[in-house]
Amino acid sequence: MLNVAGELSGDSWGIFTFLCAALCNLPALPALNCTEELGPGHSIQKTYDLTRYLEHQLRTLAGTYLNYLGPPFNEPDFNPPRLARAERVPSATVDLELWRGLTDNARLAANYRAYSRVLCSLRALDAQGTAELRHRLGHFCSSLQGLVLSIAGVMSSLGYPLPAGPPAQPPAQAGAAATNDFLKKMDDFWLLKELQTWLWRSAKDFNRLKKKVPPAVVTLRMEARGF
Amino acid sequence: SQSHSPTPGAPTWPRPPQPPLHCGYNLPSMQCLLPPSLCVSIADPAVISPQDPTLLIGSSLVATCTVSPDFHLGAEDLYWTLNGRRLPAASYATLGPTTLSVALAHLNGSKQQSGDNLVCHSRDGGILAGSCLYVGLPPEKPVNISCWSKNMKDLTCKWAPGTEGETFLHTNYTLKYKLRWYGRDNTCQEYHTAGPYSCHIPKDLALFTPYEIWVEASNRLGVAVSDVVMLDILDVVTTDPPPDVHVSRVGDLEDQLSVRWSSPPALKDFLFQAKYQIQYRVEDSSEWKVVDDVGNQTSCRLAGLRPGTVYFVQVRCNPFGIYGSKKAGIWSDWSIPTAASTPRSERAAGGCDPKGGEQNTTLRRELKQFFGWVKKHAYGCSNLGIKLYDQWRVWLQKSHKARNQVGKEPFTLLSLPWGGQWGAGGGLCGARTRWLRGAPFISAGASRR
């Protein structure tokens, strides 16, 4: 409590002191960024739209890539065995009750992890295809990168931490990586199929999130500095 | 469940009906649904030999499929497919209780560059193993290497593959270069800058010493090296198109346009002997006229043009004799077309004189009515009509321009170019000709057939 000689009454001094103290401590407080941005609801909508767009783009990309792999990979009812090997991407398929019960954080984190891994795997895809294929792949990866960033944006606007670090490599199992070209083709097939499933699922995930978060909200974003 | 309309050649993607049987390790536990006892770690069901071979077109192959003992399948339960098509049982041979072979003769080039898919199936269609066959030819020598340097700063080269190109197998091209009397080979890094068979060397280029340049083509079956091309950067210089192209009229002259441009800035200080070329065309034609002998001036006058016409003009530059090189450089791209129009001639017949136009409209209307009446009441006048009148007017314009019949009757009915038409009609509309002679637009000299 400051002891200042003066004519102010005790109450006013109290308030004044408090304000001084507050001002002095302000740099250490979390900076309050009052932004009039459209808030997480808007980002969720954008992310949803992006998944629909990617789903559309994937159809063309998958068509081109599977034609490059050749029959039977590009046949409509092709369904090869999915051998138990190191999966490059966590599966989108999940029990319904489990899915319903996911917290928002878990839901978003699952999406974020999945697409980060897909992005890594797509970038390592066979770059030997035709120029058209390489071009489509490059374009798709850019869009997918946008989706990953969009999900990250939603997570941070809701105050959730991003899943830690770059995607961990699956533990090396004996013969886990594709040891021959045909197995590699099957891996690529399943990668694209799993990506398709994820995009279907994400649309539902983001629809669900949309309902929980109001669309246009003035948010106070708390940025922790020095904490 | 949702169904997608298939695009041609693209697979349709059915929704997965139930979760696939697999064990996820490294996954969040919520996603590994099944108790571990139900998840069996499956070793490769079968092994094919040879695995992913590379073969010459026309060669033969015997492949074997050996099933893992865990699967309790015998050779009789197996069959083969190649690129999705079942291979005939006649080509199979049983080599052991769990080994089936297939003989493939006179192989054609691979259907896709990722390899032909030779697959060993169990009786119910399930895939046990696969092998990718790469069938093709060794690469051919790349040919027709040509290079150019933009403003002496870089070098871009392009080439053509030998024969029709990729010999069923993916072919890698590497452009290499070295200074003629120095040892080190360099490899070009930036490919596909000017088409699929091209490469760009962006820096560290030396002048005044020739380069040796060649292209290596390699695929799974071998390597082929092109002939070495020797060139001096200064002999293959090109530059940007001339900027600031302006096309303007020359006073009132109706058949001329003046073209001005600037020297390309990058080589401005060196282009003492630059050559320029102009090409121009009329708006609605695709045929360009080229003016070759422009020299190194930065302006030119086009003559002999049509009055009242819009022209498109382009200019390009050749950095001829740069740094004393005796050779021509390479022509730049054409500048973006600039448009201008020649003044309209006042004396052309049928010009846009409004008074004359009005007269013409009234006259035409009257004529149409007249011809309609004539057709109804005269016989053999089927050819008479407003079209004929128009043809006559065109002919009149042309003959006025020729100006060599001053004083003469501009026409006689007989001298009209379509005299035959009249003849076919059985003479000039029969007895009514006399009437026609008196009509105001036909001169008094009209003679009758």
Q: How far apart are CA B88 and CA B110, in angstroms?
A: 19
Contact B20 A93 (CB under 8 A): yes
Query: Using a CB-CB distance cutoff of 8 angstroms, which residues of chain B are in contact with residue A183?
Result: 130
**Backbone conformation region of residue B10, classed left if phi is above 0, alpha if psi is from -120 to 50, else beta:** beta
Query: Using a CB-CB distance cutoff of 8 angstroms, which residues of chain A are in contact with residue B81?
Result: 72
Q: Among all residues of chain B, which has the CA nearest to that of A195?
A: B13
Contact A128 B114 (CB under 8 A): yes
* pLDDT > 70 in chain B, percent: 73
Q: Where is mean pLDDT largest: A53-57, A211-215, B17-21?
A: A53-57
The pLDDT of residue B152 is 87
pLDDT digits (tens, 9 = 90+) for B31-80: 334 444 333 345 689 999 999 999 999 999 999 999 998 888 899 999 99
Residue B214, phi then psi, degrees to nearest 5: -150, 165
List Cβ neighbours of A54 (8 Å cut-off, separation of 6 or more): A140, A143, A144, A147, A199
Task: Compare A22 and B216 and report the one with higher pLDDT.
Answer: B216
Stretch among B48-52, B134-138, B203-207, B238-242 having the lowest mean pLDDT:
B203-207
Mean pLDDT of chain A: 78
Q: How far apart are CA A60 and CA B11, in angstroms?
A: 10
Q: How far apart are CA B101 and CA B63, in angstroms?
A: 5
Q: Among all residues of chain A, which has the CA nearest to that of B127?
A: A80
Stretch 9-38 of chain B: residues touching chain A, C-beta under 8 Å: 9-16, 19-28, 30-31, 33
* pLDDT > 70 in chain A, percent: 68
Q: How far apart are CA B246 and CA B244, in angstroms?
A: 6
Q: Where residue A90 falls among pLDDT bands split at 50, 70, 90?
A: confident
- Chain A: give the shortest CA distance to residue B332, in Å: 27
| Residues facing B48 on adjacent strands | B65
List Cβ neighbours of B16 (8 Å cut-off, separation of 6 or more): A93, A193, A197
Residue B353 has pLDDT above 50, yes or no: no
User: Which residue out of B42, B48, B54, B127 would a mutagenesis test of the A interface target, given it has the greatest number of A Cβ atoms within 10 Å?
Assistant: B127
Query: Using a CB-CB distance cutoff of 8 angstroms, which residues of chain A are in contact with residue B68?
Result: none
Mean local confidence (pLDDT), B260-275: 82
DSSP helix/strand/coil, B154: coil
DSSP helix/strand/coil, B114: coil
The pLDDT of residue B165 is 64
Mean local confidence (pLDDT), B330-349: 83
Residue B207 has pLDDT above 70, yes or no: yes
Residue B21 has pLDDT above 80, yes or no: no
- Chain B: give the shortest CA distance to residue A82, in Å: 7
- Chain B: give the shortest CA distance to residue A215, in Å: 28
Residue B128 has pLDDT above 50, yes or no: yes
- Across A165-185, b (16+ Cβ under 10 Å) vs e yields eebeebeeeeeeeeebbbbbb
Q: Where residue B83 falls among pLDDT bands split at 50, 70, 90?
A: very high
The pLDDT of residue B345 is 73
The pLDDT of residue B346 is 65
pLDDT digits (tens, 9 = 90+) for A95-128: 899 999 999 899 999 999 999 999 988 887 866 6
The pLDDT of residue B268 is 76
pLDDT digits (tens, 9 = 90+) for B300-309: 999 888 888 8
CB-nearest partner of B7 from A59, A81, A185:
A59
The pLDDT of residue B422 is 36
Q: Is the CB of residue B177 less than 8 Å from the CB of residue B210?
A: no
Q: Where residue B13 falls among pLDDT bands split at 50, 70, 90?
A: very low
- Chain B: give the shortest CA distance to residue A189, in Å: 11
Query: Using a CB-CB distance cutoff of 8 angstroms, which residues of chain B are in contact with residue A66?
Result: 10-11
Q: Among all residues of chain A, which has the CA nearest to that of B12?
A: A76
Contact B117 A87 (CB under 8 A): no
- Chain B: give the shortest CA distance to residue A38, in Å: 32
Residue B269 has pLDDT above 60, yes or no: yes
Sign, CA dihedral B401-B402-B405-B406, equals positive
Task: Compare B20 and A137 and report the one with higher pLDDT.
Answer: A137
Q: How far apart are CA B267 and CA A156, in angstroms?
A: 53
Q: Where residue A21 falls among pLDDT bands split at 50, 70, 90?
A: low
Residue A153 has pLDDT above 60, yes or no: yes
Contact A59 B20 (CB under 8 A): no
- Chain B: give the shortest CA distance to residue A211, in Å: 22
Query: Using a CB-CB distance cutoff of 8 angstroms, which residues of chain B are in contact with residue A63?
Result: 7, 9-11
Residue B402 has pLDDT above 50, yes or no: yes
Determine the straight-line distance between the first and last CA of chain A, rounded to whole angstroms. 26
CB-nearest partner of A76 from B6, B25, B126:
B6
Residue by residue, DSSP assigns A198-218 as HHHHHHHHHHHHHHHS-SS--
Task: Compare A57 and A90 and report the one with higher pLDDT.
Answer: A57
Residue B428 has pLDDT above 60, yes or no: no
The pLDDT of residue A92 is 87
ipTM exceeding the 0.95 mark: no
CB-nearest partner of B23 from A84, A131, A193:
A84
Task: Compare A25 and A124 and report the one with higher pLDDT.
Answer: A124
- At B145, list the tokens: 């290497």
pLDDT digits (tens, 9 = 90+) for B354-397: 444 455 667 878 888 888 888 887 766 666 777 777 777 777 76
The pLDDT of residue B311 is 93
Contact A185 B114 (CB under 8 A): yes
Residue by residue, DSSP assigns A102-170 as --HHHHHHHHHHHHHHHHHHHHTS-TTS-HHHHHHHHHHHHHHHHHHHHHHHHHHHTTPPPPSSSPPPP
Q: How far apart are CA B225 and CA B139, in angstroms?
A: 9
Stretch 248-277 of chain B: residues touching chain A, C-beta under 8 Å: none
Sign, CA dihedral B262-B264-B268-B274, equals negative
The answer to whether B112 faces chain A, any CB pair under 8 Å, is yes
Mean pLDDT of chain B: 77
Q: Where residue A15 falls among pLDDT bands split at 50, 70, 90?
A: low
Q: How far apart are CA A7 and CA B37, in angstroms?
A: 83
Q: Where residue B261 falls among pLDDT bands split at 50, 70, 90?
A: very high
CB-nearest partner of A128 from B23, B52, B170:
B170
Q: How far apart are CA A186 and CA A67, in angstroms?
A: 13
The answer to whether B362 faces chain A, any CB pair under 8 Å, is no
The pLDDT of residue B174 is 96
Q: Among all residues of chain B, which has the CA nearest to that of A110?
A: B28
* pLDDT > 90 in chain B, percent: 45
Q: Where is mean pLDDT largest: A20-29, A82-91, A206-215?
A: A206-215
Q: Among all residues of chain A, which has the CA nearest to that of B45?
A: A83
Residue B215 has pLDDT above 60, yes or no: yes
Burial of residue B15 (CB within 10 Å: 0-12, 13-18, 19+) is: exposed
The half-sphere exposure of B73 on its side-chain side, counting CA atoms within 13 A, is 22
Q: Among all residues of chain B, which has the CA nearest to that of A176?
A: B43
